[in-house]
Amino acid sequence: MLTVAPDIDVLARFGRALADPIRCRILLALRKAPAYPADLADELDVSRTRLSNHLACLRDCGLVVTAPDGRRTRYELADPRLGHALEDLLAAVVAVESDKQCPGAETEDCC
């Protein structure tokens, strides 16, 4: 059964998903159009196994959903507003020092 996550939980899930560059690339690709895992793996130049793990994380975070399409499974953003949120984040100006990195950026934490 699907439920609606509380506001803070939504932000935390979105933040954890965006913490990994591959998951960011997946979300940006799905922002344009739904896609099949094999096509995403080719487009993003990652192994299908690695992509599958990241798609599972994004699904567990509630950011993507699956849609059966014959014998294949298509992935898409769970809500079209996530695409708009990504657009807004890409347009935002972030003040960073060139020699600094976010704490914990080296870890591969998942949702």
d(CA 82, CA 105): 23
Stretch 3-11: mean pLDDT = 73
The pLDDT of residue 104 = 59
111 has a pLDDT exceeding 90: no
pLDDT in tens, 19-44: 999 999 999 999 999 999 999 999 99
Question: CATH code for 7-91?
Answer: 1.10.10.10
d(CA 37, CA 62): 17
The pLDDT of residue 1 = 58
Residue extents of the structural domains in the chain = 7-91
Which of the two residues, 15 and 4, has the higher pLDDT score? Answer: 15
* Percent of the chain predicted with pLDDT > 90: 59
Contact (CB, 8 A) for 54 and 100: no
